[in-house]
Structure 1
Amino acid sequence: MEFSRWSRVMTIAAVLMLAGIAGVVFYSHMYELALHHGEPEWCAALFPLLVDGMIVGASMTTLLSDARYGRRGGLLPWALLILGSVASPAANVAVADPTMWSRIIHAWPSFALIGAYVLMREFRTTAKSVRTASADDERDLQGVVLSES
């Protein structure tokens, strides 16, 4: 397996692993928070999916926009992504014990997921520039071959 394909597979695996772990931890914290503030159990069970669903939907919209059109996503997906990215660590910290270390530990899964998302965007940007440079080199090589003919 070539290096760029290997690095792409490893990056995707790492982001999916972080997303899965962060999702489980965040779900339990948000569920606990909703129960604590009087939501019925069935609503508390659905509430974490609203925040995570908003983050995933907004992330996919911005990533797909980047991939398809070579531009940044619109204002609404970015606003929802930012709002969800603030709500996630806030909910985690809200259920923590009132000590600094407890708050850091509770907030960490959200920051890990946000960091993984930023790394994924950086990886996509780097991969795109490598593909563009490779295509330019190929065109230059074809031009040299054609001019020698």
Structure 2
Amino acid sequence: MYTLNTQLAYFKYSFNFKRLLLHIKWFKLEKAADLRLQGVCFDQAELQNFKSFIDRNKLNFPGSCFIGQAGAEGLVLPSENPVSQSDLPFYLILSKNPKPGAEHLMAQVQIITLTDDNYESMAAYNLDFDVIGKIEIYKNAAACKVNLSDKLIL
């Protein structure tokens, strides 16, 4: 079982785009029977499919990917709606078939779409499973004048 860490750039959610460079830890998205969201680790085939998607969309996933081996760990979302100290959500979802309102299952979760470098056209997410990413680090790319191909230092 595996997790995948990447950088993320050129995306939007809720009709807003953000000029940000994020460091994300990705998991496969599972929805429990009680409509709660949870992230589980990727198996080998899922990891390779997601990595291939990332390789085809280097604009949105600049820099290197880091694969982490994991046991039974997963992404445990809090049962209560956390209050964010920023205008960013805590978790981002990439989905082949985003369902309107699904991001409101829990506060601070947003479904995102990938865009081009003008934040206009969308790169299609076409995998058979959804992914959820936990934002670990973020930088305002416009203010920092970050070169999106640079490695993000943790």
TM-score band by shorter chain is: under 0.3
Give the structure-2-normalised TM-score: 0.26
Write 1 or 2 for the structure with the bigger share of strand.
Answer: 2
Q: Which has the higher contact order (CA 8 A, sep 6+)?
A: 2
TM-score (structure 1 length as normaliser): 0.27
Larger Rg over CA atoms = 1
